[in-house]
Amino acid sequence: MSRTRTSLAVAVGLVLADSSVVVLALPEIYRELDVSVSAVTWVLVAFNLVLAASALPAAHAARRMGPARVTTAGLVVFGLASLACGLAGDIAVLLTARCVQAVGGAAAICGALELLPAVSGSERAAAVHWARAGTIGAALGPGAGGVLTELISWQSIFLLQVPAACVLSASLLGAAVREGRASTIAAEIRPAGRPHLSANAALALVSAALAAALFLVVLLLIEGWRMSPIAAAAAVSVVPIAAFATGRLDLGSIGVSERAAAGVILLAGGLAALALLPSATVLATIPPQLLIGAGLALTLEALTETALEGRAPQAIHGGWTIAARHLGVVAGLLVLTPLFTADLDSQRADAEQAGTAALLDSRLDSTEKIALAERLGERLEAEGDKVPVLAPAFEPLPEDPDERDDALELRARLQDELDRAATHSFSRSFAVAAAFALAALGAIALARGRPSL
Amino acid sequence: MVVLSTLIALGLLGTYLALGGSAYEPTEVRDPCQPRPWREPEGIEESAEQFALSALDGAACELQVTRETLAVAIASGEGRREFIEEYGVDEARLEAAIRAGLLRAVDDAEEAGALSPVVAVPLRAVFERIPVEEAIALIEDARAIFEDVRGLLGREAGFLDDPGGLLRDLIP
């Protein structure tokens, strides 16, 4: 029973990790498949959009055809589509495969929710396990994808999911066969009640904030601060660790509304703190990430519990929560991506002005300033849209100790201006994400005391 | 629990604000029309640097752009063409602004005690009609103004017929 529960939780985590797993691989995919930035963003958006759209039909299928069969079939489809993603040679094939992957994934997670009560002891415990697995999966996704991209390739993210999906579907095959032989499925079908609107609305808003928490932090570390994907993966592991640790706390005596509200406040506080980073160091991101991880665990679990509590069938209402969450992720991506892209451009211009001012005001002599300006210009051109690494432009350093000190001082100042610009580029997006999270408080207040809505 | 979460969130935000989080952005460049006091001139190199920066400030102020934008613009022919296109400035206005910049630099140098008033007067006369390419060359390397003002004046304006005359004695 425990093994089945673990298999189901891993299946949910695996599928929901896919909603964020490619974020660190996007630059590689963009380069290798020779597509535009907006096209490559759809590798992320398409999965979340199709997952949201297919969650309810998948939940109905689980009810009518049997959850074990639908979960197993969903995992098989998910695995085959993952294989196609890993072998895709162009963006059209990749996007098509991602859509199929999302359909299979929706079937797997909605079926899993219907199966979990039998192995978790109660519907409430099932809802908690299901939500927790999804939260940890989604939070682990960017880091895992980053490590695989750097160590192997972006294709390996998808190809490694194939054996995982095979093992998981094989572990459920017995249940699916038994279910197929049973004749009681139709008798278990109960009419689905209305979804919990305010809890699902809050889930959508929190998920829009989650998109920022997971995607923007990773982009800030890699694109803004020029960290390697592995280093960035290690840095963002704080979120899933905090989520996992918070999930282990015994908070059962505290009401779901209070847990949801406390979680949203921590999430909003963490995101707002990221908008106010006082330095471009990983250390400064850790306290906000701790708040985000703890906030996500509290609020996603509490809201999922609220959305599912007393509602049958679980799969249908779980389908609603999946639809709400992933529509929220898509909305978050669609709102925040253009915002930080525009801010990157404007901050780049500000950094160029500040850097030029630093160069002009430096104590280097005019000949050296002009030569350095040319070398810096070459670096900017060579790095294209990326935040440049300036150190090579300063090589070789002057031999005269005073001139060397002046050059090093200027290099540090220019780097500081770049770090400031890269960090500030994300500030508005993090602030908007914090506003998404705070907006969820309104929905949580509405959800309070209306469990039967 | 809500109160505790609020306190934790506010505590973190307060800490980040106290550490300067709200001001962690690229340093704002200064208004070129505002006076920019010279660093203590310590010889020809230093004075030449300050002169060039004052000239850039003066020209940028005339054109209502930042000193940094103008410095990039005049660094190359391509930069100049892009600047003219982007800001809708014609060549004549750009040249007039660069000359105005040189005049402000002379004023600033005189005020800082780096140039004698006796030298400043003929320099102004020269800079009012100096060809723009030579004006840009002077901004990029203004050492000639402090190293060899007699040669500069003679070369640019035929101002000194007698290199051994009065000005030689008055150069600081």
The Cα–Cα gap between A206 and A352 comes to 36
pLDDT more than 70, % of chain A: 92
Contact criterion met (CB below 8 Å) for B13 and A272 = yes
The Cα–Cα gap between B44 and B47 comes to 5
Which of A385 and A409 is assigned the larger pLDDT? A409
How confident is the model at residue A275, as a pLDDT?
Answer: 95
In the predicted structure, residue B26 carries a pLDDT above the cut 50: yes
In the predicted structure, residue A274 carries a pLDDT above the cut 90: yes
Chosen for mutation from B8, B67, B69, B78 (greatest number of chain A CBs closer than 10 Å) is B8
Please list, in sequence order, all residues whose beta carbon lies within 8 angstroms of the beta carbon of residue A174, skipping any fewer than 6 positions away: none
Residue in B closest to A415 by C-alpha: B26
How confident is the model at residue B169, as a pLDDT?
Answer: 44
Measured between beta carbons, the chain A residues lying within 8 angstroms of B69 are 353
Contact criterion met (CB below 8 Å) for A123 and A308 = yes
The Cα–Cα gap between A410 and A358 comes to 7
Measured between beta carbons, the chain A residues lying within 8 angstroms of B37 are none
Which of A451 and A156 is assigned the larger pLDDT? A156
Q: Do B68 and A421 touch (CB under 8 A)?
A: no
How confident is the model at residue A171, as a pLDDT?
Answer: 84
Chosen for mutation from B1, B46, B47, B74 (greatest number of chain A CBs closer than 10 Å) is B1
How confident is the model at residue A343, as a pLDDT?
Answer: 86
Two structure tokens written together for B29: 């460049």
- From the list A251, A288, A373, which residue is nearest B75 (CB)? A373
Please list, in sequence order, all residues whose beta carbon lies within 8 angstroms of the beta carbon of residue A68, skipping any fewer than 6 positions away: A111, A115, A172, A175, A176, A178, A179
Q: Do A266 and B8 touch (CB under 8 A)?
A: yes
pLDDT more than 90, % of chain B: 21
Residue A193, helix vs strand vs coil: coil
How confident is the model at residue A341, as a pLDDT?
Answer: 81
A158-162, A227-231, B150-154: lowest mean pLDDT where? B150-154
Q: What ipTM was estimated for this complex?
A: 0.80
Residue in A closest to B48 by C-alpha: A366
Which of A407 and B41 is assigned the larger pLDDT? A407
- From the list A354, A363, A373, which residue is nearest B27 (CB)? A354
How confident is the model at residue B13, as a pLDDT?
Answer: 96
DSSP-derived letter for residue B90 is -
The Cα–Cα gap between A44 and A67 comes to 27
- From the list A265, A357, A366, which residue is nearest B52 (CB)? A366
| Residue A109 to chain B, least CA–CA distance (Å) | 31
Fold that domain A1-189 belongs to in CATH: Growth Hormone; Chain: A; (1.20.1250)
Contact criterion met (CB below 8 Å) for A427 and A275 = yes
Which of A188 and B65 is assigned the larger pLDDT? B65
How many folded domains does chain B comprise?
1
| Residue A182 to chain B, least CA–CA distance (Å) | 47
Mean pLDDT of A188-208: 77
Same fold, A1-189 and A196-453: yes
Q: For chain B, list residues whose CB is within 8 angstroms of any CB belonging to chain A.
A: 1-2, 4-6, 8-10, 12-13, 16-17, 19-22, 24-30, 45, 48-49, 52-53, 56, 66-69, 71-72, 75, 140-143
Fold that domain A196-453 belongs to in CATH: Growth Hormone; Chain: A; (1.20.1250)
| Residue A269 to chain B, least CA–CA distance (Å) | 5
How confident is the model at residue A17, as a pLDDT?
Answer: 87
Domain chopping of chain A, boundaries: 1-189, 196-453
Most confident of B2-11, B86-95, B124-133: B2-11
Give the number of other CB atoms < 10 A from CB of residue A329: 29
DSSP-derived letter for residue A387 is P
Burial of A393 (0-12, 13-18, 19+ CB in 10 A): buried
The CB-side HSE value for A367 (13 A sphere, CA atoms) comes to 4
- The pLDDT tens digits of the residues spanning A11-33 come to 888 888 888 888 878 878 888 88
Q: Do A266 and B75 touch (CB under 8 A)?
A: no
Name residues 284-313 of chain A within 8 A of B (Cβ): 284, 287-288, 291, 295
Alpha helix (H) residue ranges in B1-142: 2-18, 44-63, 67-74, 77-87, 91-111, 117-127, 132-140
Which of B50 and B163 is assigned the larger pLDDT? B50
In the predicted structure, residue A184 carries a pLDDT above the cut 80: no
Measured between beta carbons, the chain B residues lying within 8 angstroms of A277 are 16, 21, 24
Report the candidate in A159, A161, A133, A144 with the shortest Cα–Cα distance to residue A16. A133
How confident is the model at residue B9, as a pLDDT?
Answer: 95
In the predicted structure, residue A223 carries a pLDDT above the cut 60: yes
pLDDT interval class at B48 (50, 70, 90)? confident
Which of A77 and A321 is assigned the larger pLDDT? A77
Measured between beta carbons, the chain A residues lying within 8 angstroms of B6 are 265
Residue A156, helix vs strand vs coil: helix
In the predicted structure, residue B4 carries a pLDDT above the cut 80: yes
The Cα–Cα gap between B51 and A178 comes to 89
Q: Answer whether A153 touches B (CB < 8 Å).
A: no
Chain-centre distance for alpha carbon A11: 17
- The pLDDT tens digits of the residues spanning A414-424 come to 888 888 988 99
Residue in A closest to B53 by C-alpha: A360
Task: Tell the residue number behind the tokens 């490694």, with chain if given.
Answer: A160
The Cα–Cα gap between A148 and A160 comes to 9
| Residue B165 to chain A, least CA–CA distance (Å) | 31
How confident is the model at residue A392, as a pLDDT?
Answer: 81
pLDDT interval class at A183 (50, 70, 90)? very low
Measured between beta carbons, the chain B residues lying within 8 angstroms of A356 are 29, 68, 71-72
Which of A287 and A333 is assigned the larger pLDDT? A287
Which of A85 and B27 is assigned the larger pLDDT? A85
| Residue A70 to chain B, least CA–CA distance (Å) | 40
Please list, in sequence order, all residues whose beta carbon lies within 8 angstroms of the beta carbon of residue B98, skipping any fewer than 6 positions away: B55, B59, B74, B132, B135, B136, B139
In the predicted structure, residue B165 carries a pLDDT above the cut 60: no
Residue in B closest to A349 by C-alpha: B26
In the predicted structure, residue B168 carries a pLDDT above the cut 50: no
| Alpha carbon distances (Å) from B57 to A90, A116, A374, B50, B123 | 52, 71, 21, 10, 18
Report the candidate in B138, B116, B118 with the shortest Cα–Cα distance to residue B56. B138
Residue A388, helix vs strand vs coil: coil
The Cα–Cα gap between A91 and A29 comes to 9
Task: Tell the residue number behind the tokens 């098509």, with chain if given.
Answer: A96
Two structure tokens written together for A97: 């495969």
Name residues 346-385 of chain A within 8 A of B (Cβ): 347, 350-354, 356-358, 360-361, 363, 365-367, 370, 373
Residue in A closest to B143 by C-alpha: A366
Q: Answer whether A281 touches B (CB < 8 Å).
A: no
How confident is the model at residue A103, as a pLDDT?
Answer: 94
Q: Answer whether A423 touches B (CB < 8 Å).
A: yes
Give the number of other CB atoms < 10 A from CB of residue B112: 17
pLDDT interval class at B134 (50, 70, 90)? confident
Report the candidate in A402, A399, A368 with the shortest Cα–Cα distance to residue B42. A402
Q: Do A272 and B9 touch (CB under 8 A)?
A: yes
The Cα–Cα gap between A146 and B96 comes to 55
Please list, in sequence order, all residues whose beta carbon lies within 8 angstroms of the beta carbon of residue A401, skipping any fewer than 6 positions away: none
- From the list B8, B30, B53, which residue is nearest A291 (CB)? B8
**Average pLDDT of chain A?**
84
How confident is the model at residue B16, as a pLDDT?
Answer: 96
The Cα–Cα gap between A78 and A19 comes to 13
Find the domain containing B89 and state its range.
3-170
How confident is the model at residue A453, as a pLDDT?
Answer: 36
In the predicted structure, residue B43 carries a pLDDT above the cut 60: yes
How confident is the model at residue B170, as a pLDDT?
Answer: 43
Residue in A closest to B140 by C-alpha: A366
| Residue B52 to chain A, least CA–CA distance (Å) | 9
Measured between beta carbons, the chain B residues lying within 8 angstroms of A357 are 27, 29-30, 67-68
Cβ pairs bridging A and B (under 8 Å): 119
Tell me the CA end-to-end span of chain B in Å, nearest whole number: 75
Q: Answer whether A270 touches B (CB < 8 Å).
A: yes
- The pLDDT tens digits of the residues spanning A95-151 come to 999 999 999 999 998 888 888 877 777 777 777 788 788 878 877 888 888 888 888
